Amino acid sequence: MTSWEATGVGSHPGDDHLEALRVVFGEVPGLPYLPELPQRGVGADMVGRAASLLIDMPVEVQPSGWRLTDRPGRDHQRAVDHLRRDLDGLEEIGQGFEGPVKVQVCGPWTLAAAIELRHGNRMLSDAGAVRDLTASLAQGVADHVAEVRRRLPGAGEVVVQLDEPSLPGVLAGTVPTASGFGRLAAVEEWRVEEALKAFEAPLVHCCAPGVPYALLRRAGVRGVSVDASLIRRRDEDAVGEAVEAGLVFLLGVIPGADTRLPDVGVVAKPAVELWRRLGFAPGDLAELVTLTPSCGLAGASPAYAKAALRACRKAAEVLREDPASGMQGG
């Protein structure tokens, strides 16, 4: 496939969704995305936004967090309103855009670990509830993609990214119970694979250690988005197998919070060094790897968020011209 060069993970600072969209379309035109602004409050967070997409599964905010409820209420409506305004902005800023565009949504396992059942236990504790949640979310995401296509009729494709930071904990049995005094049982890998297959060739983003690369490959995902610094030597065989199987890799190479940004060669260095250790041809790097910040940018300043995306794009352009340049300055 042709590389998207650079993109962002999803979240942005502040509460001005139009400005965030201008930054995204201006700095990473190879794969712009619908940014999330969690600082706007209830319903703008990762869980709230995904919950707004659920079909026939309304939620509300309790002191302990999001919980299933009998009927849509004020919290659900806030989440729906945030997303509608964001889509209005996407249509305005993206008018005439003809390339691919990305949308992010909390994945089913992280969502199940975050939302409580009506009686207080996490949805993750009930396999039947997780199946219902997955089916509801998959339909909601499909409807969301169709709406984005309607808003941006010239877009080449809509890429779906499932955010799954809790996935390693779900598999390891380290997700706490609602009370916090216990841990929920580990979920079998086949159940995780089955749920992910409900979505059409998604990217999966996981910014936690222990990304299950082999499982994601078996689940048929399109690609994996990870913080490059969290790829350990013991992961590299699984990463190499995933690349050989045709998965795309989005590698986080810049911190998500304000810091002094290095030159483009240093920015690209983690990707170059990983590629070298895996033994792949340098010329393939720019085609198979997309550079991103290491995680979302919600905790950064607006100026840094813009500079971080620009640095990812510039580093990707240098890699395309000279794959070995990532070692300069290192």
pLDDT tens readout for residues 55-77: 999 999 998 889 999 999 999 99
Helix, strand, coil: what percent of the chain each, to 5?
Answer: 50, 15, 35
pLDDT tens readout for residues 273-319: 999 999 998 888 888 899 999 999 999 999 999 999 999 999 999 88
d(CA 319, CA 176): 42
Contacts of 243 (CB under 8 A, 6+ apart): 249, 278, 280, 288
Count other Cβ atoms within 10 Å, centred on residue 321: 9
Q: How far is CA 327 from CA 206, 262, 269, 270, in A?
A: 26, 13, 6, 9
- Check residue 322 and give its pLDDT: 67
- Check residue 327 and give its pLDDT: 47
- Crossing angle, helix 127-151 and helix 74-93, to 10 degrees? 30
328 pLDDT more than 60: no
d(CA 154, CA 302): 29
CA-derived radius of gyration, the chain: 19
- Check residue 330 and give its pLDDT: 39
Say if CB 9 and CB 293 are below 8 A apart.
Answer: yes
Contacts by residues 271-276 (CB-CB < 8 Å, ≥ 24 positions apart)? 271/228, 271/319, 271/326, 272/319, 272/323, 272/324, 272/326, 272/327, 273/326, 273/327, 274/228, 274/231, 274/236, 274/239, 275/323
pLDDT tens readout for residues 251-261: 999 999 999 99
**Of the candidates 107, 112, 118, the residue with the CA atom closest to the CA atom of residue 68:** 118
User: How large a percentage of the chain has pLDDT more than 70?
Assistant: 97
pLDDT tens readout for residues 144-172: 999 999 999 999 899 999 999 999 999 99
Where do the H-state alpha helices sit in the chain? 17-27, 46-53, 74-93, 108-114, 127-151, 167-172, 189-196, 213-218, 236-244, 264-278, 285-288, 302-321
Say if CB 285 and CB 269 are below 8 A apart.
Answer: no
245-272: average pLDDT: 93
d(CA 124, CA 114): 8
Return mean pLDDT, the chain.
93
d(CA 185, CA 280): 39
pLDDT tens readout for residues 92-106: 999 999 999 999 999
d(CA 171, CA 189): 7
The torsion angles phi and psi of 13, rounded to 5 degrees, stand at -80, 165
